[in-house]
Structure 1
Amino acid sequence: MKICIFGAGAIGGYMAAKLASAGADVSLVARGPHLAAIQNQGLTLIEDQTGPITVPVRAVSDPADLGVQDYVIVTLKAHSVPAVVPAMQPLIGDDTTIVSGVNGVPWWYFHKIGGPYEGTRLKSVDPGNVQWDGFGPDRVLGCV
């Protein structure tokens, strides 16, 4: 199973380290100093209970270098996601599940909820329906 964490900040780094230390095939999409550090030294997680662990993970700046993934876990700030949806497309195949590790109201909030708001799209969270069209709400597993 191939898992891509898109965003190597605190949340993405934590999830990647935990998954990789459990034996999962994890890759990270990162940028700047985080990318360079992970590529050169691996990903280090420091916890009080277990002490530091360093795991080797593949870290890239271009998602196209990774190919289609089974799971893509998005751990960016909510306002950053729409701008990178086009760059994420090489990660997404017919059976890819998107896991939203973004805090805030999800762009798919009213999808299949029933009632008068069924199908309502949140323009303030997903301007231009970029995420709706780029990911598709049926493939999203949310964690808010």
Structure 2
Amino acid sequence: MNWIVYILITLGTFCFMEFVAWATHKYVMHKWLWFLHEDHHVKSPGFFEKNDAFFLIFAIPSWLCIMLGSMNEKYWVVSIGAGIALYGLAYFIVHDIIIHQRFKLFTRSNNRFVKAVRWAHKMHHKHLGKEDGESFGMLIVARKYWQKVKNDEQRVRAFKSSSR
């Protein structure tokens, strides 16, 4: 197979993982694995959360695809594992660093995507229980949160122009 096909498989897997993560978050984490996810909504002391176990849960299929695909020269399987791993990296950067500030980087971003994803996640966390949740994805942000960011920017511009 051509290396371009492997790149496309990796990118396709990365994109597909947003839907896997959404479904897992809504139908697994907020249902029968709530006991692992709950401490993410109701903060407890300490740096680590039981919710961090999901890192391993998602890392295992990635590792298996990369390892077994490499051992059997099935590089399309390696590409699937790489796509899962890249999504995991994106999740770590967006969710743990940008949104929850577990590491103090990107604390004052004016990027519209960052603002919209923070709004969406804030609305997700306003629900402390496992029911009545919203905004279960990470990279695909609903239009209403983009609109909130746009409205906020318009209010700031109006305030700045009226105070001159």
What TM-score comes out, normalization by structure 1 length? 0.26
Higher helix proportion (structure 1 or 2): 2
Rg larger in 1 or in 2? 2
Higher RCO (CA < 8 A, seq sep 6+): 2
TM-score (norm 2): 0.24
